[in-house]
Structure 1
Amino acid sequence: MLTRWLALALVAASWRVADACTCAQAHPQTHFCNSDFVIVGRVQKTFRGKDFYDAYKLKIRNIYKATPKARVALQSGRLLTPSQESLCGVSLQPRETYVITGRVVHLEAHVHLCGFVSRWRDVTPRQRKGFRLLYKQGCTCKVHMSKRRTKSPNTCVTANDECYERHGICLHDREHRCRWTRAPALTRCLQATRFNSTIMT
């Protein structure tokens, strides 16, 4: 326990210099694959902590992914998050339903800004299908948020494109290469983006 508090104190001290939380941008599929749990839950209560953490009590509606330790941690419906935004703390609104990815530390469920947290009503149908089923099938693929192309057969690339973030799912094709799957919503979004770019130029 002492080691844990010392670590938290060091993290807090380092973030005072940075003034704000910074996270590498990642695709929702990457968040899903790298997390210990993925849930959809409605916020019931908020508990403001005096030290490093705040806590939220959620009514969990769906568990789309959970390691054995995560299933134990989620039984209470309690999520911990850093109490300060500079430490990547998440602010959740009471009576709002969210999709949340998180990690388990010492059998406690943790959530922070470097994970994926979104109101369920803002999640696109394609993202919902991803969280329910398809992201899991694509965890053997990697999504790189980069402008650089790659010859790796296990990688899908997107240049921080909102269309791919909202509608893209990366899966293996019949040749066992990772590719963005076809979807009408993705096609429409890309066409609209190109059209808007043409008008502006």
Structure 2
Amino acid sequence: MPGALPSLLAWLAVLLLARARPADACSCSPIHPQQAFCNADVVIRAKAVSAKEVDSGNDIYGNPIKRIQYEIKQIKVRGGWQEAGGPGQPPRRPLTPAASPQMFKGPDQDIEFIYTAPSTAVCGRLLDTGGKKEYLIAGKSEGNGKMHITLCDLVSTWDSLSPTQKKSLNQRYQMGCECKISRCLSIPCFVSSSDECLWTDWAMEKNNVDGRQAKHYACIKRSDGSCAWYRGMAPPKQEFLDIEDP
């Protein structure tokens, strides 16, 4: 009996480690919002209206895979114009703005459902389902009006975004998706190629990944193939694209 005690303790230790492992299973490296945009298949502005746990097939052992299914509503904005009159109406009738779902990147189809893992321990992303909180959501497409998000994807409340970030979603971030944004861990740090932008928020602002460059800058590819940070809400001038120091 005494000899069995060490074996029992060892077995208990294995069980404890197995239970603890999922809590450490999700680890995300900080990335600039533009990188998150470029890495995503779908980028939308939406709010979650309901959530439920669903089965998504089985794992290799035959156990059901659980996921959270969020029903969402994309936020509609005044993005175009259509005639107020119907068929046969005079062409000079006044025009009224048409509201369309706000999708910054993705398929020509509204997103209806978002899926994620059931807890943050396994990289699940929790959304408020009160229907009042608007989010910027970036993730992977699953087709047929569905997408998947993880804790490592860009999911931010719309109100927390800077005006520059909101403006950059329409075109500017896409202009730099062929560029490389490298996180500077400590000063000094240097670029290794001309198509690289150094992200220094982490080093300059005490490990802050939501600093000045994240809030106000986009890495833009210029006409000679080099990349440089661009600041501001206005579209980049042609002189900047034709190589002008930012």
Which bin holds the TM-score, normalised by the shorter protein?
0.7 to 0.9
| Counterpart position of 1:36 | 41
The count of residues paired between Structure 1 and Structure 2 equals 167
Q: Would you tell me which structure has more strand in proportion to its own residues? A: 2
Q: 30-39 or 47-56, which moves further after superposition?
A: 47-56
Gap runs ≥5 in structure 2: 1-16, 56-64, 76-101, 203-208, 234-246
Shift of 1:172: 2.3
Q: Please give the root-mean-square deviation of Cα atoms over the aligned residues, in Å.
A: 2.4
| Counterpart position of 1:90 | 125
Question: Where in structure 2 are the equivalents of 1:44-123 lying within 5 Å?
Answer: 44-49=49-54, 51-61=65-75, 62-66=102-106, 68=107, 71=108, 74-75=110-111, 77-94=112-129, 95=131, 96-105=133-142, 108-123=146-161
Q: Would you tell me which structure has more helix in proportion to its own residues? A: 1
Would you say the 8 A contact 1:56–1:79 is kept in 2?
A: yes
Would you say the 8 A contact 1:46–1:56 is kept in 2?
A: yes
In 2, Cα distance between equivalents of 1:90 and 1:27: 18
| Counterpart position of 1:19 | 23
Residue 232 of structure 2 corresponds to residue 183 of structure 1: yes
Gap runs ≥5 in structure 1: 1-12, 185-201
Q: Cα gap change, 1:24/1:145 in structure 2, threshold over 3 Å: closer, same or farther?
A: same
| Counterpart position of 2:242 | none
Would you say the 8 A contact 1:154–1:177 is kept in 2?
A: yes
Residue 199 of structure 2 corresponds to residue 158 of structure 1: yes
Q: What SS is found at the alignment partner of 1:157?
A: strand
Deviations 1:9-62 (A, max 9, x none): xxxx98951513210111110011111100000111111346521011111121
Q: 99-108 or 138-147, which moves further after superposition?
A: 99-108
TM-score, normalised with respect to structure 2:
0.61
**Structure with the greater alpha carbon radius of gyration:** 2
Q: Cα gap change, 1:106/1:15 in structure 2, threshold over 3 Å: closer, same or farther?
A: farther
Identity %: 26
In 1, Cα distance between equivalents of 2:125 and 2:167: 24
In 2, Cα distance between equivalents of 1:37 and 1:165: 20
| Counterpart position of 2:93 | none
In 1, Cα distance between equivalents of 2:73 and 2:117: 20
